Amino acid sequence: MADHMLQLAVGLSVGVLLLFLLLILIVCYLRRRKKEQMQYEELLSAVPSVPACSAPVILVSQGSWATPREIAFTLPPRFITQNHGDRKNNEQDKKEEEDPQRDVLAHRGSLSVRSWYPVGTVLAGLYSVPPLNEVVAPPPGMVSRLCFSVEYRHSSEQLMVFLLRLSNLPPRFHGNVTMVELRLLPDDRRPRQAKARGTGPDPEFTDCFIFQVSALHVLHSTLSVCVLSVEQDGKRHVVGRVLFSLEGEFGQAGRVLWRDLETEEDPQCSELGDVQISLSYSTSLQRLSVVVLRARGIQLLTDAGVCVQVSLQKHTQVVKMKRSCVVKGENDPYFNFRSTFKLRPQHLDEACVRFELQQPSSVRSGDCWTG
């Protein structure tokens, strides 16, 4: 029994001693933290206060503030501790000076938030970007060319095409809007479009196109770039094309490439006129797509305009018929008429498409057939 009492007394003594040591450590930590906080407050109070009536200005450049090539900027003031009585006395002075300071800062292009102190200026000439025609100058000659760059990223299986600029466009296209259509042949059906910045003989681009294609198929692909000139009324003219084979072109990724535009000279028009059409068939959708783009050199019988009628026939039987809107008073009408027909693959050999140009007649009996 005496041994148990002795052990209990020793345990209590050790516990009280540990609690006492822990209390001493806590008190020392609190005193040290309070001392550091007092030193920090003394450092803040030692910062000299800036009078509200005098805003110090530190000039970074030797030039004046009014030079057009310099951009003024300001920094917010430091946090300065003030007494409660001083705040009440300075409120009226700050309100009176706030409006003139806002006018000055607005003139300098800075944000006006309470009180600001101008520090210096930024020289805009140091950050000017050289013109694109100096970075990627075209080769000598007067041939229309396209400047672009291609890069393939194996990690994400992405083909990146950067359009840079065109050079030496024909004079008849200088006043039109220049557009570019990109396709990755042979599988890409949806064209990607880009619009040039500005007009003239050398329009520039800032567009990047990403094609998701595997590393196995990219070597057997061809990049098709079609340059179009769009008039104010929406008519499009093909300036030229570039067919760029991607096989063996990724040795120097990102290098600037110049390719000549392949122009298509218009063949001689027939006596009765020509119609430009496009046909495509989707086996998975079982759908035939027909596009009538334009006609040229047609002989109109009246001034009532002209329309195009597309008919799908099986042998001699008309299955379906569609007609475009009437285009008035032009020998070279621009239709851009698209229509689709449901057609099964087993009926392709026995089906045909018929195109007719018709003029609306003033008599209700029917239409005048043009061709």
- In this structure, what DSSP letter does residue 208 have? E
Q: Residue 143 is part of a domain; what is its CATH number?
A: 2.60.40.150
What residue spans of the chain are helical by DSSP H? 2-45, 84-108, 132-135, 215-218
Asked if residue 53 belongs to a domain, the reply is no
188 and 243 share a domain? yes
| Residue 108 pLDDT | 46
84 and 201 share a domain? no
State the average pLDDT for the chain: 76
Amino acid at the residue 37: Q
Number of separate domains in the chain:
3
Q: What is the pLDDT of residues 109-118, one digit of tens each?
A: 444 445 555 6
| Residue 309 pLDDT | 93
- At residue 340 the predicted structure's pLDDT band, cuts being 50, 70 and 90, is very high
Q: What is the pLDDT of residues 234-258, one digit of tens each?
A: 888 889 999 888 887 776 667 788 8
What is the rounded average pLDDT of the residues 76-98?
A: 56
Tokens 């030692």 -> residue: 46
| Residue 71 pLDDT | 59
107 and 153 share a domain? no
What residue spans of 147-222 are helical by DSSP H? 215-218
What is the rounded average pLDDT of the residues 92-108?
A: 53
- Which range (43-47, 83-87, 121-125) has the least confidence? 43-47
Task: Please say whether the beta carbons of 262 and 166 come within 8 A.
Answer: no
111 and 152 share a domain? no
Asked if residue 46 belongs to a domain, the reply is no
137 and 122 share a domain? no
145 and 246 share a domain? yes
249 and 149 share a domain? yes
- pTM, to two decimals: 0.43
* Residue 114 token pair: 């309470």
Environment class of 161 (CB within 10 Å of its CB; exposed 0-12, middle 13-18, buried 19+): buried
163 and 91 share a domain? no
d(CA 192, CA 225): 10
What residue spans of 112-243 are helical by DSSP H? 132-135, 215-218
d(CA 201, CA 199): 7
Domain that holds residue 180: 132-260
Last residue of a domain, one of 127, 142, 165: 127
| Residue 193 pLDDT | 92
Structure-model confidence comparison of residues 49 and 199, the more confident one: 199
Asked if residue 293 belongs to a domain, the reply is yes
Amino acid at the residue 92: Q
Asked if residue 1 belongs to a domain, the reply is no
331 and 235 share a domain? no
What residue spans of 116-172 are helical by DSSP H? 132-135
Asked if residue 11 belongs to a domain, the reply is no
Asked if residue 9 belongs to a domain, the reply is no
Asked if residue 240 belongs to a domain, the reply is yes
340 and 279 share a domain? yes
d(CA 300, CA 369): 10
219 and 106 share a domain? no
Residue 107 has pLDDT above 60, yes or no: no
* 333 to 296, 307, 323: CA distances (angstroms): 7, 9, 15
Asked if residue 75 belongs to a domain, the reply is yes
148 and 240 share a domain? yes
- At residue 134 the predicted structure's pLDDT band, cuts being 50, 70 and 90, is low
Torsion of Cα atoms, 179 then 185 then 188 then 191, to 10°: 10
Q: What is the pLDDT of residues 311-324, one digit of tens each?
A: 999 888 899 999 99
Task: Please say whether the beta carbons of 367 and 359 come within 8 A.
Answer: yes
- At residue 78 the predicted structure's pLDDT band, cuts being 50, 70 and 90, is low
* Residue 336 token pair: 């851009």
- At residue 329 the predicted structure's pLDDT band, cuts being 50, 70 and 90, is low
